[in-house]
Structure 1
Amino acid sequence: MARIASESLIERLAEWGVDTVFGLPGDGINGIMEGLRRHRDRVRFVLVHHEEAAAFMATGYAKATGRLGVCLATSGPGGIHLLNGLYDAKLDHTPVLAITGMQETSVLGTGYQQEVHLDKLFADVAEYNMLVSNPAQLPSLADLAIRTAYARRGVAHLTVPNDIQVAEAGADPYQHVAPARAPQTAPIYLQPSGLPRQEDLEWAAEVLNQAERPAMLVGQGALHARQEVLAVAEALGAPVVKTLPGKAVVPDDSPYTTGGIGLLGTRPSEELMDDADVLFMVGTNFPYTKFLPERARVVQFEAEPTRAGARIATDVPVVCDAKEGLAALLPLIARRDGSAHLAKYQKMMAKWRSDMETLENPDRDPIAPQYAMSVIDDLAADDAILTCDSGTIATWAARHWTIRDGREFYLSGTLATMAPGLPYAIAMQHAFPGRQVIAYVGDGGFSMLMAEFLTAAQHRLPITVVINNNNSLGQILWEQMVLGYPEHGVRYAAPEADFSVWARSCGGFGAKVTKSGDVAPAIRQALAHDGPALVDVDVNPNEPPMPGKVSYEQAKSFAQAFLKGQPHKAAIATTLFKDRIQRLDG
């Protein structure tokens, strides 16, 4: 059997350490599918039900492993479907390679069936983007695409015409002045040094040592630097604020953290941002500048030169890897003992944690979403991975999922798209078959890609899905009210979904929970199930994801929405009153 060009592509992926490709076949990639079939002992193909899910899976795989994620889609509509998941990778700086099909070269430009020039369509999302026009190009282009994805922490795209896919491997049908030569050696990616310049370190240390009320803000770029972050925080006497994608940088019970920032953050973090005279940003380019200090001096450790100093006025922008930079900085920090500044925020954080615990009330009816999330937190393993969708669920996860030991947390950060929670979980269970992987999703996000639960069943993956079912697009509901508008078009009409039926029809475990007393038993059963499991929890649809610190303008707009005819104001007011009473009782 002749060796085809697609084999040279798959072989090169394997040589780069790629062991999994997520995708959906089509007539535009039959040659690539044959290449995968011939090398199925080296690269596993995971068949999904929607290409968007394949892109999310590649992104989730890369986020959790640090290795390249790869997704595959056919020409035309298949490639188009990848885009949302690929933008998730782009905006969260995650290395992903997308491979798509293309019509035969002889018909390109004729308006052939499904002829979409995906290289043009992907021009914004991809750091490397190439239409393959010669079989001899494939190994070299694969190398360049993968190196670019790693170096620029983003998306690379190769689109391969049908006739190129099945041509003889290495064939060059043209005469060239500079003929293409396939690489003969194993691929190499030279990781650039993450060490900062010494003069930048000294400059940063000078500013930090002068701080009277320092604060650290850490993000996903520091996920691999937990010990270094804690060591610098201890030396500075600085509280540590965490972005949502950076939630796992330090444990949530650490005496150095004040938790999250922004609408999903904590009151101590907001107070700290107002109080700090020096802010040290590490591994983050946090976009919501209204939550950052207006008068503090800023030091930033950032791996990407174009992002250093780009978000807010920055006194000392430093280009470096978070782990290497902090380790090099630590000897230059003037150690402080007994910081009154840190003690102040430790006291505030103790009060915040107590307030959150009072909201995890099992006696409320309807079920409090805070309670459902707290049950997951209590029952999950110490090295569990939690994936999350966007929406109110992100608030409950941010505040009630406790990072400790080896626990991890992933969601769509900057794109903040709905629907990645389930595909992320599937990809991460493939990557870490021995670990507990839990997808915490809303009814809106789950319904978008719910067919992937069948994917999990078909691959016999023991993921656990917990649905926070408020039968609405909850986050949008509250955003409308904060703008001063009564809610509109955000609650679903009857019949209400029972996703547990779908889970059981797929051959998985499925439970519908409508009472608080049934939450813990159902989740315990789901976690113990040998295969995919789903618990659909009906939670209070009128529980507001209140900011850590409510501004006057937010309160005013919220009140105006009530006065304008908010249709569920009685139920919302009752929930808010109960929340307030429970905090006082606590």
Structure 2
Amino acid sequence: MAERSSPDGSRGNVTWHRALGPDELPEGRVKPVTCGDTTVAMTHQDGEYGALDNRCPHQGGPLGEGSIETGLLRCPWHGWDFDPLTGETPGSHDDCVETFPVEVREDGIYVGFPDEEPHERTVSDVIAETLVNWGVRQVWGIVGHSNLGLADALRREAAGGNLAYYGVRHEGAAAFAASAYGKLTGRPAACFSIAGPGATNMLTGLWDANVDRSPTIALTGQVESQVLGTGNFQEVDLEAAYGDVAEFEATVLPDSDHAELATRAAKTAILERGVSHLVFPDEIQTQSAEGVDPGDPEGRITDREITPPESALKDAVELLETAERPVIVVGHGARFEMDGIVDLAERFDCPVLTTFKAKGQIPDSHPLAGGVLGRSGTPIASHFMNEADLLAVFGASFSNHTGIAEYKPTIHVDYDAMTLGKFHGIDVPVWGEIGVTVDELEERLGDDLAAENQREELADRWEIWREEKATRREQTPERGVNYATAFEAMTRLVPDDAIIPVDVGNNTYAFGRYFEPEHQSVLMSGYLGSIGFAFPAALGAWAATQEPESEFAGRKVVSVSSDGGFGQYMSEFTTAVKYDMDVTHVLLNDDELGKISKEQRTGGWDVWQTDLVNPEFAAFAENCGGLGLFVDDPADLNDALEKAIAHDGPALVEILTDADPV
């Protein structure tokens, strides 16, 4: 046995760790002990101590969880025996277990470990580095047994400051967080899971990203490639499971061009504004990739500022110049081009209406703002839609929830040619990037426009609506605080540049109607309409605020949901506490699935199975280590919201309300 050379236990190429106290391990027992980064099976047999590799060479069983029987250490998984001191197997077999030197000292039992060799680059390193080169800065997920090699590569990138990793409580939250980040920033983030159930848990959030055109990358572990197709434990055909949700997917194989696969995944997510999926069989994650360079976007991505066809621009200009009551409608796809669109509206003195997904892209205080159109909208928007003689629609997809009139002369501008005329014929479909198209229209428009000034009419309509909202606030709810009062308070108190993820249900319809945005960014599960979106989305939004060079740096995140929505992912409040996320969640608690109850009543059904049994959510937030505040009296609402928003860390305001959002 080697001799110690220094008080700290290091000598030559071996480092010593104290593994056990002097009398910690009884005779005839085995115990797993972690020393630094290595776990060993510590044994005590015939008055001597042994230290064996904890991993059985057959199936990887944890030897430290086995037992010593008739003088032999028995693996707990399949019963193979090993000498507890030498690691040898009985008989002529040569599948022995590695052992480590042991010293008995006065203060305990020490084990010597060889100094670590320099890290050998792996397939996972190449892929992680490639994704970082393509701008992936945020990853949410759960580390598990079939993704450990990839997890270690992500750990190295996080340790180097190249990305941030957040361990969540449910993989569905990881996918929603990544989707929300993409919706907010237009840049891809990643979600991460094990094989089987971990991967399938992410599908709902990934479908949200798919239908809302959010760039998102899914990284899933998989069983070892040699047992694929045999029905192995946690084996799911992930390419089949993800086949419809992913624009690009591939299984990482031993001879793959690994940097190219990661490049394709990132490039597709960015250009197609959708989901990419990479599947990592367990053993390939740690396959050597020494000397392999990562990929990067240089020369691999083109300028996307597509100029529309000249004929489409000519027809659009002709309609715009002759319209007397034009209205501009903007969708979420126009969110990065609002300055030019507002300038265009000011040329015509015409209203700018938004889809619900685009709420907040123009402040309601702007003299040309007409509010939200559709089922979650305002009577102002409906009025101007009805009175319009031309609709100029930018980045919207004509959802039936939005209610853009099909019978009005329409110009539709979108970067996606398939979206143009998706549901019905359009008078002038214009294929091009929205910002480029708006600039081209501005240059071609003459000074002699037929449009009448609609500013005064807009102001009158806002005055009528605000007076009606005031009367609704005065109505006494069945209990607690009514929705109009709650969102009036939020309008006053939520910072003008906050990011506001919202959920689905009555609370969200009321938000669309009553909250008056300034420069806030609103995030929602638009086309999928998934309950539970809001709080995981808040985690994704908060991550964007932590990027120093981001336009979202330092902005407050204030999410909104009902009790039904928050209940689906309430465990993620502990994630917010773990990473000290400055997120305020406003929870409107009606103790039921209120929107479904309403649909049952109005549809002639009996109200059935929509009631909920809830915890005290404010107390739950406190129990998790955050700030929790409960409000059941309108007089206490302002103070609670102010305190929660000012709190530096996770906070939850539970507002007791009834199920009627009117």
Normalising TM by the smaller chain, what interval? Answer: 0.7 to 0.9
In structure 2, what residue type is equivalent to 1:205?
A: V
Return 224-233 or 407-416, whichever deviates more. Answer: 224-233
Aligned residue runs from structure 1 range 459-470, under 5 A:
459-470=579-590
CA distance in 2, matches of 1:360, 1:134: 64
Provide the residue aligned with 1:198 in structure 2.
Answer: 310
Answer yes or no: is the 8 Å Cα contact 1:258–1:346 preserved in 2.
Answer: no
Structure 2 vs 1, CA of residues 338 and 190 (structure 1 numbering), >3 Å: closer, same or farther? closer
Contact 2:338 2:361 in 1 (8 A): yes
User: Which residue of 2 is the match for residue 481 of structure 1?
Assistant: 601
Give 1:249-398 correspondences, 5 Å limit. Answer: 249-288=361-400, 291-335=403-447, 336=449, 339=452, 341=454, 343-361=456-474, 365-398=479-512
- Which of the two has greater helix per residue? 1
Alignment of 1:489-508 (within 5 A): 489-492=609-612, 495-508=613-626
Quick one: structure 1 residues 345 and 531, their matched pair in 2 at CA, closer, same or farther if it must change by over 3 Å? closer
Return the offset for 1:185: 7.8
Q: How does 1:81-92 map to 2 (within 5 A)?
A: 81-92=201-212
Which amino acid counterpart does residue 153 of structure 1 have in structure 2?
A: R
1:232 is matched with 344
Q: CA–CA distance in 1 between the matches of 2:487 and 2:354?
A: 20
Q: Which amino acid aligns with 1:423?
A: P
C-alpha spacing 1:537/1:339, structure 2 compared with 1 (3 Å): same
Pair 1:135–1:165, CA change in 2 (3 A): farther
Shift of 1:288: 0.6
Alpha-carbon distance in 2 for matches of 1:357, 1:10: 54
- Residue number in structure 2 paired with 1:176: none
Does 1:442 pair with 2:562? yes
Question: CA, structure 1 residues 27+237, in 2 after alignment: closer, same or farther (shift >3 Å)?
Answer: same
Q: CA deviation at 1:334?
A: 4.2
Instruction: Provide Cα deviations, 1:79-121, integer angstroms capped at 9, x if missing partner.
Output: 0000110011111111000010111111111111111011111
Q: Distance in 2 between matches of 1:529 and 1:299?
A: 46
> What's the TM-score once normalised by structure 1's chain length?
0.87
Q: Where does residue 511 of structure 1 map in the other structure? A: 629
Mapped to 1, the partners of 2:435 and 2:153 lie a distance apart of 39
Report the secondary structure of 2:279's partner residue.
strand
For residue 170 of structure 1, report the CA deviation from its aligned partner.
6.1
Q: Is structure 2 residue 184 aligned with structure 1 residue 71?
A: no
Secondary structure of 1:305's match? Answer: coil
- Per the TM alignment, residue 299 of structure 1 is displaced from its structure 2 partner at its CA by 0.7
Q: Measure how far apart 1:182 and its partner are.
A: 6.5
**Counterpart-to-counterpart distance in 1, 2:341 and 2:361:** 8
Moved more, 286-295 or 30-39: 286-295
Instruction: Tell me, yes or no, if the aligned pair for 2:121 and 2:290 is still in contact at 8 Å.
Output: no
Give, in whole Å, the separation in 2 of the partners of 1:465 and 1:232.
Answer: 36
1:369–1:497 distance in 2 versus 1, CA, 3 Å: farther
In the alignment, what sits opposite 2:94? Answer: none
Cα deviation, 1:408-434, whole Å, max 9, x if unaligned, reads 111111111111111111121121042
Q: Secondary structure at the match of 1:115?
A: coil
**Structure 2 Cα separation of the partners of residues 270 and 501 of structure 1:** 42
Distance (whole Å) between structure 1 residues aligned to residue 310 and residue 206 of structure 2: 37
Structure 2 letter corresponding to 1:101: G
Match of 1:418 among 531, 552, 556: 531
Question: For residue 297 of structure 1, what is the amino acid of its counterpart?
Answer: P
Residue 135 of structure 2, aligned match among 17, 21, 24: 17
**Code of the aligned partner of 1:195:** T
CA contact (8 A) 2:367 2:458 kept: no
**Residue 537 (structure 1) aligned with residue 655 (structure 2):** yes
1:34 is aligned to: 152
Is it true that 1:4 corresponds to 2:130 in the alignment? no
| 2:416 aligned partner, one-letter code | E
Change (3 A) 1:22 1:6: same
- Tell me, what secondary structure is at the counterpart of 1:304? coil
User: Could you say which structure has the larger radius of gyration?
Assistant: 2
Residues 1:184 and 1:79: Cα distance change in structure 2 (over 3 Å):
closer
Residue 98 of structure 1 corresponds to which residue in structure 2?
218
| 1:402-413 map, 5 Å | 402-404=516-518, 406-413=519-526
Amino acid at match of 1:226: M
Query: How far off its partner does 1:4 sit?
Result: 1.2
What corresponds to 1:213 in structure 2? Answer: 325
**Residue identity opposite 1:321 in structure 2:** E
> Which is further off, 235-244 or 73-82?
235-244
**Which of 645, 649, 657 matches 1:527?**
645
Q: Tell me which residue corresponds to 2:283.
A: 163
Match of 1:241 in 2: 353
Q: Distance in 1 between matches of 2:508 and 2:402?
A: 20
Q: How far off is 1:341 after superposition? A: 4.8
Shift of 1:13: 1.3
Letter in 2 for 1:240: V
CA distance, structure 2, for counterparts of residue 450 and residue 486 of structure 1: 29
- 1:304: Cα distance to partner? 0.3
CA distance, structure 1, for counterparts of residue 461 and residue 514 of structure 2: 17
* Counterparts of 2:302 and 2:270, CA distance in 1: 10
Question: Displacement of 1:236 after TM fit?
Answer: 2.6
Instruction: Give the TM-score normalised by structure 2.
Output: 0.77
Alpha-carbon offset, residue 227 of structure 1 = 1.7
Moved more, 410-419 or 333-342: 333-342
How far 1:363 moved relative to its partner? 6.9
Q: Which amino acid aligns with 2:545?
A: F
Offset at 1:360? 3.3
SS where residue 264 of structure 1 aligns? coil
Instruction: State whether residues 209 and 236 of structure 1, in contact with CA within 8 Å, keep that contact through their aligned partners in structure 2.
Output: no
Length, aligned pairs only: 533
- Alignment RMSD (CA, Å): 2.1
Secondary structure at 2:301's aligned position in 1? coil
Q: For the Cα contact (< 8 Å) 1:136–1:182, is it kept in 2?
A: no
Deviations 1:479-498 (A, max 9, x none): 22332334222222xx5431
Query: Cα deviation per residue 1:219-259 (whole Å; 9 max; x = unaligned)?
Result: 01111122211122222332221001111221111221221
Secondary structure, counterpart of 2:169 in structure 1: coil
Kindly tell me: are residues 88 and 187 of structure 1, through their superposed partners in 2, closer, same or farther at Cα, counting changes over 3 Å? farther
Contact residue 510 and residue 661 of structure 2 kept, 8 A: no
For residues 305-358 of structure 1, what are the alpha-carbon distances to aligned partners after superposition, in whole Å with 9 as ceiling and x for unaligned?
111121332011011122221111013334548825554344223311322233
Give 2:270's match in structure 1, choosing from 135, 146, 150.
150
- Residue 431 (str. 1) matches residue 547 (str. 2): no
Question: In structure 2, which of residues 563, 567, 572 is the aligned counterpart of residue 452 of structure 1?
Answer: 572
Structure 2 portions without partners, runs of 5+: 1-118, 547-553
How far apart are the structure 2 equivalents of 1:414 and 1:65?
18
CA distance in 2, matches of 1:135, 1:97: 22
Counterpart of 1:155, as a letter, is V
**Identical amino acids, percent of aligned pairs:** 31
Distance in 2 between residues matched to 1:502 and 1:36, nearest whole Å: 32
Change in 2 beyond 3 A, CA 1:362/1:371: farther
Q: Does 1:46 align with 2:166?
A: yes
Cα distance in 1 for residues equivalent to 2:597 and 2:164: 42
* Distance (Å, rounded) in 1 between the aligned partners of 2:400 and 2:297: 46
Amino acid corresponding to residue 192 of structure 1 in structure 2: R
- Residue aligning to 1:555: none
Decide whether the 8 Å contact of 1:135 with 1:164 is kept in 2: no
